[in-house]
Structure 1
Amino acid sequence: MAETATLKINGSNNIRQLSLPDLEQYFIAMREKKFRAHQVWEWLWQKHAHSFADMTNLSKELRQKLGENFSLPALMVDASQYSADGTVKSRFKTHEGHLCEGVLIPTDNRYTACVSSQIGCSLSCKFCATGYIERKRNLDFDEIYDEVVILNQQCEKVYDKKLSNIVFMGMGEPLLNYKNVLKAIERITSPDGLGMSPKRITVSTAGVAKQIRQLGDDKVKFKLALSLHAANDKKRHDIMPINDSNNIQSLVEALNHFYAQTKNEITFEYILFKDFNDSLKDADELIKLYRRVPADLINLIEYNPIDAAKFEKPEESKVEAFMEYLGRHKVNARLRRSRGKDIDAACGQLANKN
């Protein structure tokens, strides 16, 4: 809405898709005071209004006119589950009835929101429950913002704390919804949004080399995680079809470009699967790959079984041997114990179950 005169205003126009200058132009064209735009902006992004009726410092007539000219679709909580370990999983419903999930993960020193970027996923990773769900559409940036707002409200209610971290590790591939993810992060980190530091945000990708390079060119401030899960192309192809068009060499080049442009932290994520990628030979391949990229950390992740896949979790002794081998070769690695497994909220388990 660069010029109000050219905007076709009707009830389907989501008001949150407008910029603050757009809103100012709208109110000027309506012969209203310019400061009304700032009042509405605050309701949308800081007070998190779900309807125009909530905007109580506007006149009833003005609220009615906004309702006639714009829509205000908001993500709503459809259901929540509470794990024995304190994890909270929420299923969100969009204005047209689509479902996606987000998770609040508490630990001793942080409270993390795990958010989704798409409804379903098109990548079909063999170990991930979301990969077996058809991708319906991308989430809009304001819907992603709503996820964080809702999870932060849950965090304040349950733990009397604000979120400390956000990870884009829920449903969908964030880099296949590039513009909305970046715009959501801009709103999340903006002083007139949630004001969170981008250093506390991690975007996880299954490996879209072109978009990883674009992140570097865009000089983003947040951290990047690569869902690797195998350190050679053959094995990675077997579990992640995206590797056919984004092989390991292309990802190495993209990650090095990203780091050269941003100096932001890079993490490798590596789920251990029994008798597939858990041998010391696999560890050796992982070490060699780790040294080709300025990665800060390898996150070893427990596998969480899903109904659709036949993978199994390795014996604890195998996991310990893998970790010990990485440590002996001076690799910065940690084992991430999954939380929320009893409510299907752990890594790879999000599937909109009832």
Structure 2
Amino acid sequence: MKSDKKNIRHFSLPQLQEYFSAIGEKAFRAKQVYEWLWLRHATTFDAMTNISKDLRQKLEENFVLPAVQVDATQHSNDGTIKSRFKLHDNHLVEGVLIPTDSRQTACVSSQVGCSLSCKFCATGYMARKRNLDYDEIYDEVALINQQAMESYGKKLSNIVFMGMGEPLLNYKNVLQAIEKITSPDGLGMSPKRITVSTAGVAKMIRQLGDDKVRFNLALSLHAANDKKRSEIMPINDTNSLKELIDALNYFYKATGNEISFEYILFDNFNDSKEDADELIKIYRQVPADLVNIIEYNPIDNATFRKPDALKAEQFMEYLAKNRVNARLRRSRGKDIDAACGQLANKG
């Protein structure tokens, strides 16, 4: 039977104050509860120890607090930690903590599954079940932050929306989650340390510009001509490279925020000199800071392979010779299916 109780975290502070006033409680109690919900990340009403037992009981009777739970964790040989998170309706999503000497990065999911069907991505072979609510995305980040503190004694330094799902197809919740993550009464993280990665939804990239967001944007490019890109990323059929280039320039003009490209190297598909030339051409049409060249990570449903080390090195050298700021991103967490493109709730 569906409960008609409302999710308390979907109430703003003024709305909570209004509720507390209506039940004859002092307004400052609302602030205390609000702090427990976000700043102190309480997952039950009982955890709110400076609130009277009677009031906690009343909250329990009138609201739900559907906190995300860690369902399983796996530890990679390289220190990466992958978590499978269980949502209140038993759906599962995955998130990853990627530690380095200088950073603690959370890779988070924004949807249960994905509707875009990119041919090289394990999540793309799953159906999209639903969007994550903003409080669920916040929970993912807060739980990975706890892992960073427990395992490495350091808070998260960066967040990338590169997990399961297309963030710009869950636009409102992703922006609300980032607002909470960057708020002083949330995790207080700088928006400059957050990157939202998109497979390329031109209309929503423009919307980001109109909304004057303060976080960084990454475009999953992976092929630098429309024919090849449409082969591996069906979204390109309705969001051509020209439309995406125009949208990225619009975004940059409106926000001045950092833009980067992601480009997975596939053996004998997008790793030739001609492919590099096409990539250079696109790079020069957008004020991009960086091209992340990514090692391909094998998945069960696809037959792609990564090129050998020499070929990858030659590709990188050619980009450098043509003054492209490119970095080869080594995969982390491959042994636990936690690397780029491998998230599929396999546990």
Fold-level similarity (TM above 0.5) = yes
Q: Do 1:11 and 1:68's aligned partners in 2 also have CA atoms closer than 8 Å? A: no
1:320 is aligned to 313
1:341 aligns to 2:341 (yes or no): no
Q: How far apart are the structure 2 equivalents of 1:11 and 1:109?
A: 46
Unaligned runs of 5+ in 2: none
1:73 aligns to 2:57 (yes or no): no
2:144 is aligned to 151
1:59 aligns to 2:46 (yes or no): no
Q: Secondary structure at the match of 1:301?
A: strand
Matches within 5 A, 1:123-202: 123-202=116-195
Q: Secondary structure at the match of 2:144?
A: helix
1:11 offset after TM fit, Å? 4.9
Q: Secondary structure at the match of 2:6?
A: coil
1:58 offset after TM fit, Å? 1.2
Q: How far apart are the structure 1 equivalents of 2:338 and 2:109?
A: 12
If the length of structure 1 is used for normalisation, what is the TM-score? 0.97
1:12 offset after TM fit, Å? 2.7
Unaligned runs of 5+ in 1: 1-9
Q: How far apart are the structure 1 equivalents of 2:99 and 2:52?
A: 41
Q: How far apart are the structure 2 equivalents of 1:110 and 1:56?
A: 33
Q: CA RMSD in A?
A: 0.7
1:86 aligns to 2:79 (yes or no): yes
Q: How far apart are the structure 2 equivalents of 1:61 and 1:109?
A: 46
Q: How far apart are the structure 2 equivalents of 1:174 and 1:229?
A: 18
1:41 is aligned to 34
1:103 aligns to 2:96 (yes or no): yes
Task: Tell me which of 267, 282, 285 is aligned to 1:289.
Answer: 282
Task: Tell me which of 236, 248, 255 is aligned to 1:262.
Answer: 255
Q: Secondary structure at the match of 1:202?
A: strand
Task: Tell me which of 246, 265, 270 is aligned to 1:277.
Answer: 270
What is the number of equivalent residue pairs in this alignment? 345
1:31 is aligned to 24
Partner AA of 1:328 in structure 2: K
Q: Secondary structure at the match of 1:23?
A: helix
Partner AA of 1:249 in structure 2: K
Q: Secondary structure at the match of 1:112?
A: strand
Partner AA of 1:317 in structure 2: L
Flag as ranges the 4+ runs of structure 1 deviating above 6 A.
none
Q: Secondary structure at the match of 2:271?
A: coil
Superimposed CA distance per residue, residues 71-107 of structure 1 (whole angstroms, 9 cap, x where no aligned partner): 0001000000000000000000001100000000011
Superimposed CA distance per residue, residues 231-278 of structure 1 (whole angstroms, 9 cap, x where no aligned partner): 000000000000011010000010000000000000000000000000
